[in-house]
Structure 1
């Protein structure tokens, strides 16, 4: 058994197709199939259940793939550590970003990082703050930019505060509140709202503010994509509370949106988070680009 065989098995497990797995691994399909068959003979078990239309992991295959991923990650880390010791940062950097990130210009940051460390392969993933923090804890992500309600910190990860922000009210340009100098939560509680999906950190920021004020509101439209939220608002279907640092640049370019300060609105904190356990050289290099000094 060797690492290349493990890579082949993981590729087939992820693509569920021998042809696509061979393309991913830049090898002819016959060679990939032969190496996996040889591995199955060596192990004495079938890793995949095959038919003319489907390829699925067997129970033995699922157990093997879980361990194979750990072995491949350890091997990649060994290469990265050896390179870093020689003064060259290599390997993979998996970065998570919430869709409303505003404290850091992520594309500009990645440009600077790539200029300094061109041999690092950067993988970018968007998602909810709770999902991204969980991905750091599981080792699927190295670092992430999160946004959480004020008073809540990311759990199980290292983190630093990047920025504090307050929400503003976003309404259609023709809405009755579009010209208001400011509003309170009580004044808008009876409106129809557009918001993120219930149970997500983005939604919790507004839910907690209304609950603290003893108010109940009607969220008629839920969406996980900010572009859809702003389109629903501009279309007059509802109003929303959104982080000011994120929505102000968008509203400046969209005549269909108007923003109103909220006296007692939600607040959020943006964090940079990374693994507590032995950050990789690529992660430490990103922290250095950001000017963050992790604890020893």
Structure 2
């Protein structure tokens, strides 16, 4: 399909006169359009759930979450990858964001980079892509050559491929194992896909990466327990997490965190199972670091 015929390139009849609206009407109009985003994402719930399940399987085998995209889509992928590291305490190499044109394209557009399929293949080869990896191809228009090239190469090495677009029957969808297409409709400003399309992609990435992390045991109840207490604010947060989940005093939470070498998950297991550091580590090892699984089994006995 020609780019001019894509949903993302159509004029929005509700905003044709946005340039002459009062500021409050402008804001209301944009907000009304934004409310359509969550509903569009909702239509893709089954495919998003499938993406989480399949990605979690590969991630648990040592695979990586690798995001590829250009422009806004690429920046959103880089952002999601970067935020997983401090949020869930994973190593930076386990979540990688690739943007057409390289790191500099995060700030200044690199002309022509998104039109190269070979560039994406080179970027993935440099990462030594393997069959346990997960490649998430992002393109609001669903047709970016850089993303297509990356997905094709990922398929060659049997990596899991997931496409995320904001048009139906997207071109990138023909190159992916799992196809996610959240059609948000024409943008408030014609073709400005950093708006509704960008929001939809951000929501979908939040769901997928959070779901994968939950399935890795990075969340206990609804609390992120692999946060790394590297400064005073995070130490305070870690103590509050321990206190909330175990019912101990602030002082005992801090003391146990120190004994656990600043590992929140280990501290929780120590307190909930009345075990020492080595015992807690062994318990967690048997359940691949999943605190919830450890506690379910220990408390059931």
TM-score, normalised relative to structure 1: 0.22
TM-score, normalised relative to structure 2: 0.22
**Which gives a bigger RCO, structure 1 or 2 (Cα 8 Å, sep 6+)?**
1
Query: Which is higher, the Rg of structure 1 or of structure 2?
Result: 1
Higher helix share: 2
